[in-house]
Chain A
Amino acid sequence: MSAIKLAFDAILEKKGRSFLTMLGIIIGVAAVLILVGLVSGYNADITAYYEKLGVNKITVDITYYDRTNTVDITDDLIAFIGDDLADAVIGITPESTSTGTLKYMANSNSTATVYFGNEQWSACNNYVIDRGRDLLPIDAAQRSRVCVIGTYVAESLFGYINPVGKTITFGGEPFLVVGTYYQKDGTAEDSMDDMIVIPYTHIRALKNTATVTKFTVKVQNADLMETVMAELEYFLGDTLSTNTSSYTLENGNDAMTESDEETASISIVLGGVACIALLVGGIGIMNIMLVTVTERTREIGIKKAIGAQRSVIITQFLVESSVLSAAGGVIGIVIGYAGSLILGKIIYDLILVPDTLVTVGAALFSVVIGVVFGLYPAVKASGLQPVDALRAD
């Protein structure tokens, strides 16, 4: 007749009511696990996106007030970085884009993004050459009609044929495919694989401007970002006349930091909501335990009459409320795991397993709730006078 067996007997005797009592805890615990799981899934999703996009990038954007009075700083900028920032910077490339229709024989692709870059473009944007070769310095210098294409462009224009050595047209101009990049975004329309890079020196012919106004600088690591930003600031301030132009420098990591902060605040809000759910569940348990005390007043009276100490009665009710909420916690954890796995697969296509620490925490918290919210009813029960309790029906 241990207290735990007694508690199980009492709980099983009223299965429906016990389940409804546990429901609050079940929902609370499941909600905590699922929400925390989904936030971590979202986080992983965002991080993966930024990693594909490339981290530690600085975007330089120059605006000339008078388009007929521009200075091309490409060579100076590349030279400055090569001289002064070689240790801190992985690469620099012009970063201009265009769209248009790409054609190979009867096939065409009009969704691809066309990048005007140099030989460092792929390094700056996290593309890796698969077949053939990447752009070379000489391609830009000689304005060679060559291009490197992403997997979706290769697939949409060539199917299973090796594109290297074939010629495609863009804006009616022929370009020889010299290489292809590895897939990095699922080979889908409008993805990061739906792209083509051509030497930036074609910009005059294809975009009707002689000047490159946008650059990407890829920095070695996040710690060097500020230093490189300051150096670029110094160079641009020195090189460009403020009368004719302005420029902006954008730290690509800022967006990621912002999204991290956003995720953290979402976690806090959702965690708070889940805690409120647990709290409400706990109050539900307290309510039912108070009802139980009233129902069992006579039983308490009998036990006290035949010699039960207060501690015996307190233990009985505390164990019962703890077993109730712990059982709710266990069911909640099972549902939480199932929910995380199912929703993670559906929403993020990831196998989301709830954090072990969060799981253990939720389990412990549910027991604590049982003890805390069971305490008042238990003390109330133990304080009944035997003669009053015996009179009850």
Chain B
Amino acid sequence: MALIELHNIYKIYAEGEENEVRALDGVDLTIDRGEFVAIVGTSGSGKSTMMNILGCLDVPTYGDYYLDGISIKERTERELAEIRNFQIGFIFQGYNLIPSLSVWQNVALPMSYQGVRKDEQYDRAMAALEQVEIAEKAENRPNQLSGGQQQRVAIARAIATQSPIIMADEPTGALDTKTGAQVLSILRDLNRAGTTVILITHDNGIAAQARRRVRVQDGKIIEDEILEEVSP
């Protein structure tokens, strides 16, 4: 059974009106466990909308989304929050760290929603920070860190809960080439360790580093190509 199945997904804004926008226009997509998929497209192609729907941050106007074989439509708001909490680790372009919390507290935040014990939260947060080599900044505030460092913290937050899926929306968008490459290498390592990684990007060079490339244009998938077979 596939991890993610999108069946004929539409996301339509202002439907039936003059300014109707079809952000997603009948998308079918299947992603298996352990894949590293790049969803690539230009600005306005619908790739971010796809990520929001895949990440259960938004709901489709029409169509069915099965995560782990269960339809998202049938989930309550509470269950959707649990899915985001336990199943998906998000990495955003704008890092989206909470400025009033220290670095390790930011990383521990999803665990606090899972009801993880306090000392364990700290231990796991520190382990995740070490994995992305930023543990020495654990007590700092996010605004005291550079962009690359903040993105590492965001990655640590996404991996600390050991979610089976990582969704990264333009994770290198605000970074220079070198730091961007480091971030990508972290994602590749995660994927090698078994995590399903979904990467959203407009950059073909970045997309080429994934194992599968899905190109989106005008709300439709126009290309779906395996770049590198998953090694057993």
Chain A positions near chain B (C-beta within 8 angstroms): 1, 6, 9-10, 13, 298-299, 301-310, 312, 385-387, 390
Contact = CB atoms under 8 A, between A and B. Distances in A.
Nearest to B96: A302
Given A305-B57, A386-B58, A390-B57, 11 more contacts: A1-B108, A1-B109, A299-B100, A302-B96, A302-B97, A306-B90, A306-B157, A307-B114, A309-B78, A309-B82, A386-B84
Contacts of A308: 81, 85, 113
B71 interface: no
A390 B98 CA distance: 12
B13 to A, nearest CB: 12
Q: Chain A contact residues: over half helix, strand or loop, or mixed?
A: helix
B112 A387 contact: no
A1 B116 CA distance: 12
B82 A307 contact: yes
B7 to A, nearest CB: 21
B84 A1 contact: no
Q: Chain B contact residues: over half helix, strand or loop, or mixed?
A: helix
Interface in B77-103: 77-78, 81-82, 84-86, 90, 92, 96-98, 100-101
B55 A305 contact: yes
Given A302-B98, A387-B57, A390-B96, A1 B85 contact: no
Contacts of A305: 55, 57, 84, 90, 96
B196 interface: no
Interface in B98-143: 98, 100-101, 105, 108-110, 112-114
Contact of B84 (A13, A298, A306, A385): A306
A183 to B, nearest CB: 66
Nearest to A386: B57
B61 interface: no
Contacts of B52: 387
Contacts of B101: 1
A299 to B, nearest CB: 6
26 contacts: A6-B100, A298-B96, A299-B98, A299-B100, A302-B96, A303-B109, A306-B84, A306-B85, A306-B90, A306-B110, A306-B157, A307-B81, A307-B86, A307-B110, A307-B113, A307-B114, A309-B113, A310-B77, A310-B78, A385-B58, A386-B58, A386-B84, A387-B52, A387-B58, A390-B92, A390-B96
Q: Determine which residue in A6, A307, A386 has the highest number of CB atoms from chain B within 10 A of its CB, and name it.
A: A307
Nearest to B121: A1
